[in-house]
Chains A and B, each alone.
Chain A
């Protein structure tokens, strides 16, 4: 078995106890999982289980107490342009226009490029998220939440990272906007070999977007307990996906985990010996061939608004 593109090994986060001599506080421990190249993986868990800490470690913005992260054969230490991050609060620089926020990133990625090259490249990605025709010259404060997140996504894609990290990117958006940006995200992602790791609280969002959903137990002593394969072929459309026989099975499994088992499993030892999360797969009665071996991923598909 070859090593996956992104490998997280024995990751743990502990804080010293507030009172002297007490046990240290462990947020999560024994976190092991791998992500294949080009895979879209969501992670779900209740607040406080350390999802955001894992995200920060992957981004290189924080350090875990124990464990290593290896991407593409190299240990992740410190931030890198190989890993693009989209934060929940967009984190756009408010004194720059939407366009300048993207050129800021492109210039960092390609310091040798001319102004025209930087601009053309930035426009290409702003176009992908539908932010042209004057809107690109507005400051973030003059844009709606959805537009801001589009700029943030354009900025992350524009640096052409190997790994895209999304920290609850749609959490602050209304349902309609969320849906259309999810579609845009999928459209831009499909046809690339970009690996995506995304935190979400939304079960439906995870099923719609992800190849695999990682489930975390509640903290303290949280861990990644299960890896649920969604197993619904792409391209997916919002209305057809619910008719897939696996949809409700996966959905019920996720909801049940969040509502009950995340609590029951909290603090318990791993079931599997190698510390890897248990893989949960729902066989597809319509199509016995495993989608994992040969993912169907056409480069283009109709956009349904």
Chain B
């Protein structure tokens, strides 16, 4: 197996990935096109509608064709129930990012406070422990009632689900800053604000970014479910709408798109995380 050694690990892994893709798509395609017998229908079957075409899982070739069709014109808008995939994802991203950054704007300063003050930590800990495990969708009815707006409610749900990992990680990161570095700030007579910005923030940044990365992942998971509930626009609504249309090709296509966007979001935060990472 000489060629095995000559190719780099990277190339070999790409080849293997492609083989897995082709084989699984092939199995999928073949498993769907078989089935259905040529035997003539009985009278009973005709009467009960047995002759009607059965809605089945579409083969990958259909999904690829659908993907090509959708992605070639992602931003068309033919009314409330027929919008391009780009518009739907755009709506979802808008909700996710506004809820997410709203959460970050609160979680990071509050996390700082909790991390720096044992008193605040002890005082707020019981609330965090109770609020953290609540499924974000459980807030939905209350949000709809209080906010009286389904769009804002969806953003609120994203806010409430992404706040906890950021809050906890910020507090943890800030509390864990080495005393040596704080002493460096103290011996250089830095005031509290400068210490927070030039020493504690960069020292805790990798931990904070880990929290932000977890949060964006959760927010993207939750937005699909939230949009299924509030409806109107967004990728979650799109999936549910296509299910109601019994258009499984579109359902599968949008599932893949959800995965793809989630991957891009994660990769983006992963990139920032690597930038603030330091080794001691």
A-side residues, CB < 8 A to B, are 59-61, 78-81, 83-85, 87, 89, 91, 93-96, 104-105, 108-109, 139-141, 159
Contacts and interface: CB of A to CB of B under 8 A. Distances in A.
Interface string B241-280: 0000000000000000000000000000000000010111
Given A81-B188, A141-B280, 14 more contacts: A59-B187, A61-B186, A61-B187, A89-B180, A91-B183, A93-B199, A93-B202, A94-B279, A95-B278, A105-B188, A108-B188, A139-B278, A140-B280, A141-B278
Given A89-B180, A139-B278, A141-B278, A95 B189 contact: no
A254 B186 CA distance: 35
B76 interface: no
The SS class assigned to the A binding surface is: loop
A96 B203 CA distance: 10
5 smallest CB-CB distances across A and B, nearest first, come from A108-B188, A95-B278, A141-B279, A91-B180, A79-B186
Given A104-B198, A141-B280, A93 B187 contact: no
Nearest to B194: A108
B273 to A, nearest CB: 13
Contacts of B186: 60-61, 78-79
B203 to A, nearest CB: 7
Contacts of A93: 181, 184, 199, 202-203
B120 interface: no
A95 B276 contact: yes
B190 interface: yes
8 contacts: A60-B187, A61-B183, A79-B183, A80-B187, A89-B180, A93-B203, A108-B190, A159-B188
A94 B278 contact: yes
A42 B112 CA distance: 40
Contacts of A87: 180, 183
A44 to B, nearest CB: 23
B193 to A, nearest CB: 13
A94 B184 contact: no
Most buried by B among A79, A80, A87, A95: A95
B209 to A, nearest CB: 12
A108 B185 CA distance: 9
A101 B278 CA distance: 14
B17 to A, nearest CB: 34
Contacts of B202: 93, 95-96
B195 to A, nearest CB: 10
